[in-house]
Amino acid sequence: SEMCIRDSPHFISIIRKSVGLGYRWIQAISNGRRFSYEDFARRAVAVGLNEVTVSMHGHNAELHDALTMAPGSFDQSIRGIRNLLATGRCHVSVDVVLSSMNIGHLGDIIDVFAGLGIREFDLLLVQPFGRAWQQRSLLLGPSHAGDIRRGVRRAVELGCWVWTLSLI
């Protein structure tokens, strides 16, 4: 059973309630920014959060913030990842939504996050709706297959797991 909670002020109590209902593994998919508050990250893990998948779009603030259109989001997400990892009790993975803007940096993205201790990556394709539908140049094509393969090879070299949605 899945539940989608977007910026809920009740996040901690929902985790606690889920544990009380018998759920043994609780995972959140997040931009990681709320976890940049150390106390929030610690409390979430303490009440039962087991895993967080953080969506990252670049290896530096310039690229990530350009894609999220949220200045400062890269630094907040990095702090969130560090705070979660510092608990020693939360598995953290990274989603990378691949687009024409970041595909050439996939190896760099893998390097940066593996350097933080991330050992699991999900590679996702930008979907053709919303901003991506209006800016179709963000979409990937067959010519980007080599970039994806190089990124996956880099992750494997670093001992990381990579999940894809039939990208290659």
β-sheet bridge partners, residue 51: 27, 91
Q: Which of 34, 100, 116 is nearest to 67 (CA)?
A: 100
pLDDT per residue over 72-127, tens digit each? 999 999 999 999 999 999 999 999 999 999 999 999 999 999 999 999 999 998 77
Output the pTM of the full model.
Answer: 0.90
Going through 31-156 in order, the beta strands assigned E by DSSP cover 51-56, 91-98, 120-125
